[in-house]
Amino acid sequence: MTLHSDMAELLAQAGILDVNIDDAVKDEHVRASAYQRVVTATASSRSHDRDRDRDRVRDRAIVATILRDPSEITSKTAVAALVDRIAMVSPGPAEFRQWSAELLPEFDQFKARGHRDFIHRRVHDWLLYLSVEDGHEPTPAELAEATDWMQRLLAENSTSPPVLALLAGSARRKKTRNIAKNRAGFSGSPV
């Protein structure tokens, strides 16, 4: 397949008809924007009727198509956005774990090890986030494995006092510790 046919198919499947394919082929910024729109459309069209198999087949095809882009950084950004969007609409960690496990072979197609590692860390972070959202209280070791980005996201969004206390006391970044401390209502050091 060519980049032109990949873009045309990807956009058509997402119902996006207002992108000039020739411009997208010539300009990675136009492609990146188009990929973001495809990712948004994909995540918002997740099956609510339990046809998750169809969703996973579609998602795998989308990732495979995006990974054929000649700009791997553009691909990585789009795949990371897809991971983020799917995690945000997943009903819980089990479904996201299954979705990501089925897509890991596609994620491993990145040529740059750093891009593969980034996507794997992003999946790991979201599994932690969804588990916390589902009532899991992470251990200090689990929290230490999370990226700074995920620690901050947890500090900003968690409503669990134990999670906020753990973040207030052990997040890597001072700003994250302060966010957790303020959200937990600590006036001094967390207990």
Percent of the chain having pLDDT more than 90? Answer: 84
* pLDDT, the chain, mean: 92
Sign of the CA dihedral with 164 first, then 168, 173, and 178 last = positive
Closest to 80 measured CA to CA, from 167, 1, 150 = 150
Q: How many CB atoms lie within 10 A of CB 53?
A: 10
Q: How many CB atoms lie within 10 A of CB 95?
A: 16
Mean pLDDT, residues 27-45: 94
Mean pLDDT, residues 53-82: 92
N- to C-terminal Cα separation, the chain: 59
Residue-level pLDDT at 67? 94
The half-sphere exposure of 119 on its side-chain side, counting CA atoms within 13 A, is 28
Spell out the domain ranges in the chain. 3-136, 148-191
Residue-level pLDDT at 1? 78
Does pLDDT of 128 surpass 50? Answer: yes
Q: How confident is the model at residue 49 (pLDDT cuts 50, 70, 90)?
A: low
Q: How confident is the model at residue 189 (pLDDT cuts 50, 70, 90)?
A: very low
- Distance of CA 91 to CAs 40, 94, 127, 155, Å? 17, 8, 12, 21
| Tokens 């950004």, located at residue | 77
Residues 58 and 110: their CA atoms lie apart, in Å, by 19
User: How far is CA 159 from its chain centroid?
Assistant: 21
Residue-level pLDDT at 54? 79
Residues 86 and 140: their CA atoms lie apart, in Å, by 26
Q: How confident is the model at residue 40 (pLDDT cuts 50, 70, 90)?
A: very high
Q: How confident is the model at residue 179 (pLDDT cuts 50, 70, 90)?
A: very high
Q: Is 0.75 surpassed by the pTM of this model?
A: yes
Mean pLDDT, residues 181-190: 72
Residues 91 and 104: their CA atoms lie apart, in Å, by 20
pLDDT 10s digits, 134-152: 999 999 999 999 999 999 9
